[in-house]
Each structure stands twice: as C-alpha cells, then as structure tokens.
Structure 1
Amino acid sequence: MLRRGLRYTVIYICLRFYRTEAKIKLRRRYMKFESYISNIKNRPVFVRFLGNMFLVLFIPFLLLLVVYFSLNAKLKTQTYERNLGILESSVEKMELLYDNMDQISYYLSENSEIINFYNLDTFSFSYHASDVLRAQKVLSAIRVGNNDILNIQLYSKQSGIVIDYFTNALYFDRYYGSSFYMDGMDGEQFKTNYLESQDNVSYNHGAATMNKSYNEVLVYSRRHISSNGRNIAGKLLFYVNKKRLLQFFAPLEYHDEGFIYMLDEKDNLIFSNNLTNYEAGHIDTSELVDNSGYINMNVNGKEMFVTYYRSKNRDWLCVEAVPAASLLAVTGGFRKLMLLLLLLAVMVGVSLVLLVAKKLAAPMIEIGNALGSKGKKVPMEEYVDEIKVLVERNSALMDRMQQQVAVMRTDAFNKFLTGECGSEEETREILDKIGLKSSAAHYVILLVSCNDINVDARLEDISAQKVFLENIIREQKFDEIQDIYHIDFARMVVFMASMDVSARRVRERAEELICVVKDTIAGDAFYSISVGGDVADDILKLPGAFVHSQKALSIPQNVFGTHKVQWYDRAKQYLDMETYEMNMQEKNVSLQNLVLTDKIKKYINENYNDPQLSLSLVGEEFCITEVYLSKLFKQTTGENFSKYIEGIRMERAKELMEQKKKVSEIAVLVGYNSPQVFRRAWKRYYGDTP
C-alpha cells in the first residue's frame, strides 16, 4: 500500500509539473503574439511595408483566381461535352436499330409468301394452311440475324390470323393469353389499340409475355396496305427489349436521380426511363432551340442539367436530365484539390509577405527609433523626408567611394607601368590588389591617344569625351579586355590579356577591337584617336611594353599601312625610334614643319566641303600619323586642327548666308552631312542660330 501511494504521489507531481510547464509556454507564446501585434500597431513603417507587399501579392493572387475559375469552367464544359457526345452516340445506335426494322418491313411488304398471307380470308385459310406456314418460316429466318428484336408479329385483317417468330395462330382468341399476352390489356383492347389501329406508324411501350418470357418492350408497328392501295391488309409489329435498348444509354449519368425519354417527330413518347417522379411535360422543349446542346433548367422544383439531341434522319428528340450537382461530382475531387492548392498558395504568400515586410521594415524601424527620442514617435512625413536625405547622402557617398576606388586603381597601375614598384613581390602584390590576371599567355598594352583635344576647353568637356570613348570600348564585349586606365587628360591604356599562345592572333584581336571603335566614332569629324601598342608574354614586362607603345605613337611618318594600331614591332623595323622622337616645344619649330603645315592648310582650304575631311584623311594624304599631325598643327598654328576646319567652313557659310541661300543647301556646300549638324556648329561658332 505504501509503494502504491508513493507511485500515485510521484505521478500527481509529474502531472502538475507538466501542466505548469505547458501553461508557462502557452503564456509566453501569447505574450510574444501580443507583443508582435503591438509592434504592428505601433509601427506605421511596418504597416506601410505590409500594405505595399499585399498589393504586390494581390496580382498573383488574382491570376491564381482567374486560373482556378478558368480550369473549373473548362472542367465543367468538358464534362457537359462528354455527356452530350454519349447521348448523340446512343441515339444514333437506336436510329440504326429502327432503320433495320424499316428495312425488314420493306422486305416483308415485297415478299410473296407474306403478301399471300395478308390476302387470306376467313373462308379460304383452312384450305391454304401451307401459305401460313411459309409466312411463319420467313419470320423465323429473319429471327436468326436480328438478335435485338424479341419478336415480329404479322396480323392479317381479312383472316384474323396472327403469326410471329414462335407461333402461327389461326384463332386469335386461343393465341392471346396463352402464347402471347400484353400486361394490363385484354384481347379486344390489344386488337383495337395495336392490330387494327389506323396509324401508319406508331410507337408504344409496355410489358409483354411471349413464348413464356416476360419483358418490358417497345412496340414499333407499321400497317400493311393492300395491293389496291386503299384497304388495310394487316399490321406488322416489332417488339424490342427495353433493357437491350437502354444499354445504348448506359454510359449516361441519369440512373440514380435523373431520367431520360425520347419523343418522335409529333412529340409522342417513344420510350422513357426513371420518369416516376417527373413528367415529360415538365421539360419546356421550346427552350431546346438547337439540334443539340445542354442547359440548366428547373424541373419539378429541382435544378437539373438537361442534355438534348435531335436526330438528323427521324427528327426524334432525346432528352436526358441529371441533377447538376451529381453530374459535376465526378470532377469534384479534382476541383477541391485545386481549391486547396489555391488556399495553400494564399497562406504561403501571406506568410512570405509578413516575413519579407518584417525583414525590410526592420532597418527602417531602427532608423525611426534613432530619429525619435525617449519613446517619441517621428511623424510619417518627417520620417520619409529624413529617409530621403539619408538615401541621397548614401548615394553620393557611394559615388565618391567608387570614384576613389577607380582613382586608386589607376594610380596603382600607373606606378606599375612607370616602374615605381620595388621588388617583384611588391609588384605582384599590387597586381593582385587591382585584379589583373597574371596567368595569361600574352598581354597587350594599347595606348589610346585622343587627337586634337582643345586644351582650352573645360575639364568637364574633356572628361565627357574620354568617358564617351571608354563606354564605346567597353560595349564591344571583348573577353580579352581586363580594364581601362586613364593616364592623363588625353590618353588612356586599354589592358588586354589572352590565353592564346599565338602573338599574331592576339594582335589581330586587338586590331579588330580598335577597328570597331574607330568605325563607331567615324561619324564625328572632330573626334579621332591614334593607338600605339605592344605585346608581352609576361605581366612583369608590361612597363617596357608601355614605353614601346609611347615610342610607336611618337614617330611622325606613317609606316603602319592599313593597320589600325601602331605596333612597336613594326615601327622598329623601319626607323631608329630615338631619331624621330619629337620635341614639341614651341622654340624648336623647324622650317620643314612650317612648309608642311602650309601644305596642309592649302589642302584644307581646297577640300573643306568634303564631309570626310578629318585627321585620318589628311594624315593619309601626307603620309604622317594622326597623332603627329595633331601635335604639329597645334605647334605651328596655335590652333586645333578641328577648330581650324570649323573656322574655314563657318567663314564660307557666312558668305553663302549673305547670298540668301537656304540652310540645307549651305550645309552641303561647306561639308556637313545634315542641316542639324550645321546649325549646332554655327551656334557653337557664332553664338546664335543661322
């Protein structure tokens, strides 16, 4: 007893402990949730973030809704179309059965044994029993190939004899009730309603016992006209098993709570099934306007989905009615799954919105707390203004940092090219810092000189020209380009590295780059570049390659042919570089240079109306390089090459303007490609519009 008491005590203490722990955890969760809600209420920044995120979520949510309802509608349509297709196929099968019975009727109307049977009268049939037997044999032969027909009856009005598949009855009273019986109808009623009916064609249904077999049947009767065409000689009746006929419509969904029926061309009922609680008249056929289709309709106070089809040959109308809910129950599972996935997507989206809004708003909330003081909240308008100021300052700081990084990289590269680095280890450390690839097979230094730069222009204009050129080079997307460094206000270095072991192919790639760049800027007659270059197989040899590129650019004579790059290897084959290095100080202008400048001026005065007139064209004419021509012209005349050409053109344009010529005509006469370019040049030169 003591042990049991101790056991119960321990169990009780454990239960109390776990209950207490559970309460504590529940309370903590509640306090955490309450704090979260409080933060939401007290943090307009979070609420604004949340609102914006929900607006972003609204669009995909709306798309999901559209997709859901579209798929739902498509599923419904496919279900309805499938139901209609089954109905059409079933009616066509039924039509084939009745077509077969019409063919049998036509065959019997032409058969001599059947004609003789119809022509028997009450006085002669006892002497012609063989005619009855032959007619009955004809029916037995038809039975062999027509399993869908339960029985065929032939009735001779003149003799009163009835024959079918199984029996030839000379006396109708003995036949009806023993071999054949129609449920709920005596012999006289059957004879009046079926055998002696005046209808050419009629459709009936009921339950019949024939050859000791009871079946629900459809009765299709046709009357036989005598040979004179005036009197009714007899009747032909076909009996079809209703169960066999309903098998045609078995795939339809009407069995449990719906119904099906068929009307002939006169709206007489041919057959029906499950019409116990409904009447065919409950369907308003005036709404069934097309040959086939489906429609939702209230039938006897119940919402039904009605599918109908009107046969093409006989104009029969077949109608199937099914409760709309039960028809769509087939796809109900899939539609519920789609709805569940939609709700799941919404829940996931809402969770992500809350998480993202919380993450994004956190730094803003901290900034808001920093802007406030002692729990006071900053108004939303002031908060937004403060954030804008911080963002602008941060953007300006980032721009300054990027500019500073670019300056530091350029400075480090300049030190490397000029050989200011000490040991090899220090050199490689600098190269690693500026990110130069040190494992390539060949390196290329392209020294790009902007010709004819106006030194008197503003630094902003000169910088804009160089930035324009740098952007053009970077846009070419050459994988070999490692970086571009601005050496001074007129020159920049394009540094290339290639894994190709062939120096010739490396030069060709560099030539291809410079060719594309020169073609791009060719439309500007006042903007040209000269490029000196050298190739090295070791990154530590780049300072020497840079010196060689400078020497290649300094020679006056054009020894490079059609090459776009003035390669050092090609230049040193023809000239002693030290002999042709230029001293461009003003006091050393030689008579030979003055004579050359006069020839160049004369050439410009004679060809100023050529739109292609440029440093490149004049350099080719006098067999000197563009960079030498630009420096020579500036040294001897004190004026930029492009400014001199512009001055000649503007003086001539002013003379033409005084002659009252049109602006478009003057632009062509003085060497401009378009009136717009001419107007800009005129305004730049004279300060007003032409």
Structure 2
Amino acid sequence: MYRYLLSYLIIFLIPYLTISIVFYQMSVQSLREEIVQSNTEKIEQVMDFSDSRMQELENIATRISLDHRLTPYMISHPYYSKEAIEELKSYKVNSSFIDGLYLYYHEGDQVYSPRGSSSMNTLVNLVYEIKEDEIAKFKTDMETVTEATVHPVSLISDNNEQNHIISYLYPIPTNNTFAIGTLAFLVKESTLKKLTQNVLGEFKGNMYIFNEDNELLASSSTGEKLGAEKVQKLAKGETGVLDKTINKENYSLVTVRSEISDWTFVTAMPTAQFYGKMDSLKLTIIIILSIIALIGILTTVFMSFRQYKPIQSLAQSLLTKSKENLHRKEHKDELKSIQEAIELMHEDSEQLHKKMKVHQPLIKDQLLSLLLKGDIKRKTEINDLLVDLEISFNGDSFFIVLVSFKDRIMEHESLQSREKVLELLTTISYEDCVGYGVELIHDNAVAIIVNINENDKDVNEIQLDFVKELRKKLKEYCKEMPTVGIGKIYEGLDWINRSFIEASASIEYNLLNNNESAIYFENITTAEGNPFWYPAEDQAKFIQSLKQGDKIVARETLKNIITNVKEQDASLYMLRCMCFDIINTVLKNTLELGISFSVEQIQSLTEFKTLENLEEILNKLIVDICDEVEERKESHNNLLRDNILNYIHKNYKSHELSLEFTAESFQLSASYLSRFVKEQTGKTFTQFVWQLRNEEFKRQLKETDKPIKKIVLDIGYVDVANFTRKFKKEEGVTPGQYRNHH
C-alpha cells in the first residue's frame, strides 16, 4: 500500500516539478528577455538615429567635396563666392541635425559658412567660444584631419556646468590621405541629449554616448548622477546587459555599440528598478505553484487509497485461481503478483505479435516453415498467427506440392523468370483449394501448403485438378519446366510435415528416374516380383525425413518399416537381409550427407539381437543424424549471412550495387534476399546500403578536403542533388553545414 502511495506521489511530483521548474524559468527568463529587449531597443533607436544622421553628414561631405562651385578658387573668388555661400546654405538646410557647417581650406585663415566667411579666430572665440585650452587642438584637427573624426569640444560657460559641442570633421576630398581642406559639422550637445530623453522613461538612471575613442559625447540623467568616468571603463567591454556595483549600489548596464560609427551607447539603472516587474512575477508564480502542489498531493493521497482496493481484490482473485501464485503471496505484494500472472499468460503471445508487426513477411515464411517441419507446440497461437497473417485455412485437409528448380537455373533469364514464379506461388488458389508457398533456399525449391475446403467432392480429384492447374501456370512462366512432387492428403496441421517429406521423396524419385511429369507419392510402389520386402514408399519417406532432419517422421516411418518386416512371412535369413538393407539405407544416406559414425556405433548396428533392439539403436542414430542436419543448415545460414554482408560492405560504393544484382550474384531470389537481409540486420537492403554510404560520406567530409560532389560519386551515387536532399532529411543539415560544424 505504501509503495502504491509512493508511486502515485512520484508520478505526480516528477511531471509537476519538471513543468513547474520549466514554467518558472521560462516565465522569468521570458520577462527578463523582454525587459532587456525593451531597454536595448530604446538604445538602438537612438543608435539608429545617430547612425542615419552620421550617414547623412557623410553624404553631404561627399557632395560638397565633389561640388565644383565649392573649390578653393570658386569660394575665394570675389564674384563666384556669393554663389558658393548660397550653395553651402542649401547644404545646411538639408540637415536639421547640425548647428553649424564650416568649410576650411588649408594654408588659409578663412572659414566659410552659410552666413559668409570669417577668420578661424572669430569662429573659435566669438561664434562658439571654445575653451582656450582646446582651441589649439581644434585648429590642429582642422589642418591635419585625414579621415572622418568625431570629438567633443568644451565651450566657455557662465555657470559651473559643462557645456559641449560635438565636432564632425571630414577631409576634403573625403577618404583621401592628401586632404586640401576640412569640412566641419558642429552639433550642440543638447541635440544629442534630446535623443536620450525617451530611453530612461519613468525610470531613474543615466544615459551616455561615447565615440570610438571612448570620449563622452553626450549624457543625461534622472535621479542620482553617476560619474562618466566610472561608466567609461565599462563601455570598452562587451555589449549586452551587465550587472555591476557602483557607489555601493547594484546597477544594470545595457551597452550597445554601433557597427557604422563605432559609438557606444550605455544606460545605467538601479538593478532593483531594472528588474522590478520580475520580482513581482516570481512571487505570483510561487504562490500559484504552491496552491497547485497542495491540491495535487491531497488528490494523490485520496486517489491512491481509492484505487488500491480494486487492485487488492484483483490480486486476491488471481491468487485464488493459481496455486503457484498462492505460494508466491508470502514473498511478493499484490502488484508483483498481478504482473507475474499477466506475464505468464501473455509472454509468448506478445513476443510473437511484436515480431510479426516488424517482420510480417519474414514471420509468414517462418510460420510456414514451422508447419513443414511439424514444429507445432501451441495450436491456438499458431491459429491466431495464421489469422493475423491473413492465411486462410478453411478446411481440415492438407497436402504439399513441392516445386523444385534444382539443376535448372543456369542463366540470368532463368533467374528473372523464377522471380515471377515465386511471386505466383506465394499465394495460389483454384476452385476448392488455396495454397501458400514458401521458398526453401537450401533445396532450391518452393513448398506449397495446399488447404482443401470442406465440400462434397472427392479430395483426390480436387488434388488432381489443383496440380493440373498449377503445372499449366508453371508452363506459362518457366522456360524449362521445374520438377513437381506431391505428398499425400492428411487431416490437421500436425500432419503437414508428413506430406512434405513425401513430396520431397517424390522429387528425388522423379529426378532419379528422369520423369518430367509431376509424381505423386502414392505412385512410388514396391518393385514387381518382391513379395517379401518392406514398401519402397516407406523407404523413400524414411530417407527424406533423414535428409530434412525431421526426427518425428523418421521415427514414425522406421516404426512402420519394422512393423512391416515383423509381419512378413519370411525365413529368418530373409528377415536378417531386410534388416541389413535398413541398416545399409541409413549408412548410405548418412555418408551422402557427409556424416560419419564411430566404430562402436557401426558395431552396435551389426550386432543387434532383435528387431526391437535394432529399432532402439536406429532411433538413437536418427536423433544424432537429424541434429547434425539442423546444425549444418544453421551453419549454412551463418556462412551465407557472412558472405552477403561482406559482399555488400565490399561493393557498397559501386554504382551497380542493387538488390537484384546481389541476388543474382548469390543465385538467390530478390524476395528471399530482401527478407534475409531484414532478418539479419533489422534493416531493409536499401536502408542498410544507405547507412554504409552515409557513414563513409560523413567520414570523408570530416577527414578529407574532397569536393562534396566527388565524395557523393565515390560512395556510389550519381544524382548529387537527390543525395543532398536525402542527407539533409536524415541529418538535419546540408553536407556543407555538416563539414563546417565538424
């Protein structure tokens, strides 16, 4: 109960805490970003305006530099000077930002403005009253400037307050190291201050504008003033938001730097005021989350007590119906008891269903192969799988038709035709029969499990009609008619493997006797004139069961042979000869399979005392022979897997590599190879090849300087654009972006 309660609390608390933390962080961070963004945007507006004005002044300077009416000759000429002054006046009118516009040519003392000409001393002493200690620097700048510069210039003031004017100096001509003059734009500090008034708004703080040399151009403040020199050092640092302690008080500084003018714009506000809205939001969120937590915990406790009762009842019900679970009750709680009971009931079924969803075509072939082997342990689950795989067995009568291509596939065209045959034989129906084919790669054949619907017609006639129709279709698709063997008709899924062994025996009999027509197992009879011998059909069935590794049919057929020998009215010597013939049959076929026996095993065979003793010895050998056959089939599968995967690894860069080309190389059908690769790698053939090519492509991107197009061609692709689209879809970036990132 306490574990159950604890689990409910954990289920509630994990998402609650996760969502709460994420929500809290996102809300606070969102508001923080909004505050920063809002303040940054205000400063950027000032920056954009000043940048546009600077650009405007630069354009005016360029136009003046190129204006033939403002050359040294024209502007100093007695007649044309009036026209030049008018021209300067028109340039000043174009900009409301500047307070004064002055044109000065080196080696002269005259400064020209829209109001006329005056001496340099008049400009610095009377017009603007520049402080005496800065006059020399101003004049020097006017004489020597070679590039656009901006500097603050201190003016004489009646009170103690600092008064500045901003000088924008441009060489004439602009962007030329050999300047012949200087164009000066003078802007009052108050003009820049007006730009900063809306930045602070209702907040108390300070706003500063520094030029590229970190000189203060303009400043404004509301509330406590900060010394410009304290902020001046911080203005040299990185842009963004910075929290600093100034005058023992926490301030938040927002710094923006213009990429055009290289000016720095800084606002400094008390941190408590800067993030004031954020503190109130934090308190509100904490209160709301606390209320939700309280309600959630109370609900969790209530629901856990309520939901525990039916679980306890269910556990008791399951325990009373299972002696095994009753025994476990002493060691495990109700939840584990229920879990184990459900797992025991559905474990095998769930595994089969999961495999079938992923590998449905492969499961279908495996299921049909199990039916051929007679490996049926749970009939109910087999029937459910048949329904899920859309295999419809409406009757109880079954027989096997084995279509063998052995020694008949010689050319490329034959392989292509066999693909069509395999597609035909996957599902084939005729009147009262429906058959489902499965490819037997080891035998180079296709086995068709044929089900006969229940009706009043004779099953043998139905079988004959089905085989005739099948052979008719095979003639249409095959250049060379494959060998067809037909097993007996049996009732029930359990007996399908008997019919399969019989069909295999019919194929071998057909090949040995060079018979081109289909042969039924019933037609294999004893030789004429041999009244004292066991039936040849039992011998053929026994041999095939050994070759197929089917212990059940082999033991069953051996029992029939021994019983037949017992019933023979023959002499002791004749019976012994028949027994040695059985022994010879076993030894001869095991030698054909490449299986050898020890001297002790052969000795025990020849020294049998009774027929029962011989049957017992042979049954032990049958187990060894069938186990060896199964191991060899598995070994063959492993070898085939290794060869196919090695082949793909070796040739995945080839443009010719394809499913069909690979299947032809290994003398397999494309459908079988596709299923085989899916079974061994968990991926389709195309997905597996793409994975190899993609890994090699990424490796070359990281480790080589080859062009992307060449790498694409190297790994087996011709269409570079198509590969690039697929790569971006898989990796989320283009090949070029991937290379840059790595």
TM-score bracket, shorter-length normalisation = 0.3 to 0.5
Q: TM-score, normalised by structure 2?
A: 0.45
Q: TM-score, normalised by structure 1?
A: 0.47
Q: Which has the larger radius of gyration?
A: 1
Q: Which has the higher contact order (CA 8 A, sep 6+)?
A: 1
